[in-house]
């Protein structure tokens, strides 16, 4: 669906519409399922496991990749590894979002929980780099999205925001290369 009013989130069936207090049932839209059907299912529906398992989330110290502490990315990340992916070949989804893997409980519920349930059932590892780190306001005085803990999707850090040279994408790319076993 391309008509859902959720510009900054991956809505789940229970995500309420913004500013709609009367909506107690939520959007009724499986954003994680639709996303994964598009990316991995080539349009075919994927099925999710009935329950998420927090034991599959691992805290990762990514300090070696996050070398600029003023661009909104924290030196921690979560890695979700279903049992089938411990020894077999699996898919990989990267899901940046607000978190701190050093101090927070494992991601659960909402789109994180739904993505994990799809990961269990479909052999998908999830890398969740933690956004919400500090922003150097001297370097980026007009940056308002990242100050709210969001991923740089508007180029407020640099024109390279969506490339491997982007301040946030470069460390995420290095994490990806490490996971894939690619020399850096």
**Higher-pLDDT residue of 117, 183:** 117
Under 8 Å between Cβ of 119 and 83 = no
- CA angle 181–42–95, rounded 5-degree value: 50
Q: How many domains does the chain have?
A: 1
133 found inside a domain: yes
- As a whole-number percent, the residues of the chain with pLDDT over 90 amount to 55
- CA angle 162–70–72, rounded 5-degree value: 55
Residue 145: per-residue pLDDT: 81
Three-class SS state of 39: helix
40 found inside a domain: no
134 found inside a domain: yes
Phi/psi of residue 177, nearest 5 degrees: -60, -40
2 found inside a domain: no
- CA-to-CA distance for 46 and 66, rounded, in angstroms? 33
132 found inside a domain: yes
Mean of per-residue pLDDT scores for the chain: 87
128 found inside a domain: yes
- Residue positions counted in the chain: 184
Three-class SS state of 51: coil
Residue 143: per-residue pLDDT: 84
Q: Is the pLDDT of residue 11 over 70?
A: no
Across the range 17-42, mean pLDDT stands at: 75
Residue 155: per-residue pLDDT: 87
pLDDT tens, residue by residue, 72-106: 999 999 999 999 999 989 999 999 988 999 999 99
Q: Which domain holds residue 130?
A: 54-180
41 found inside a domain: no
Listed residue (147, 131, 126) closest to 96, CA to CA: 131
pLDDT tens, residue by residue, 115-163: 999 999 999 999 999 998 999 999 988 888 888 777 888 888 999 988 8
127 found inside a domain: yes
**And the tokens for 162?**
């969506």
């Amino acid at each position: 669906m391309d008509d859902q009013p959720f510009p900054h989130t991956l809505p789940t069936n229970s995500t309420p519409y913004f500013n709609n207090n009367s909506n107690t049932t939520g959007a009724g839209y499986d954003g994680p399922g639709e996303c994964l059907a598009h990316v991995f299912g080539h349009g075919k529906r994927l099925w999710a496991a009935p329950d998420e398992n927090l034991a599959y989330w691992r805290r990762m110290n990514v300090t070696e990749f996050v070398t600029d502490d003023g661009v909104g990315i924290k030196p921690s990340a979560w890695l979700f590894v279903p049992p089938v992916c411990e020894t077999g070949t699996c898919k990989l989804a990267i899901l940046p979002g607000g978190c701190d893997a050093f101090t927070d409980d494992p991601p659960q519920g909402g789109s994180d929980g739904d993505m994990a349930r799809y990961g269990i059932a479909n052999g998908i590892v999830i890398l969740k780099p933690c956004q919400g780190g500090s922003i150097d306001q001297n370097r980026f005085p007009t940056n308002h999205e990242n100050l709210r803990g969001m991923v740089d999707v508007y180029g407020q850090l640099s024109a390279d925001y969506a490339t491997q040279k982007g301040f946030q994408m470069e460390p995420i790319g290095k994490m990806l290369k490490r996971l894939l076993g690619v020399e850096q």
